[in-house]
Structure 1
Amino acid sequence: KPWFDRFGDHAPQLINMYGITETTVHVTYRPITEADTRNPASPIGEA
């Protein structure tokens, strides 16, 4: 939440990224919005 209080929802963007070791790159990413701070679950899935 402090990120969005300071920068807002547009720029710069906060990104949630995930990539398993075997891929050696990030295979899933999703820009985080202020609305996401109200939900404690991961916005890109469960481990």
Structure 2
Amino acid sequence: MSSPQKDLYDAISIVKRKIIPLAFILYFLTIWIVLILGLPLYA
């Protein structure tokens, strides 16, 4: 027998597992884009 609270907790943990890697990928992509676009400005 599962309670609504446990279902909600499970859903949140699944969402976290999917969002955290995506957030890291986006973060590193943004840094790379800034570096690649920014380097000619500093050259």
Q: Same fold (TM over 0.5)?
A: no
Where relative contact order (Cα < 8 A, 6+ residues apart) is larger, the structure is 1
In the superposition, the TM-score normalised over structure 1's length comes to 0.20
Q: TM-score, normalised by structure 2?
A: 0.21
Structure having the larger proportion of residues in helix: 2
Normalized per residue, the structure richer in strand is 1
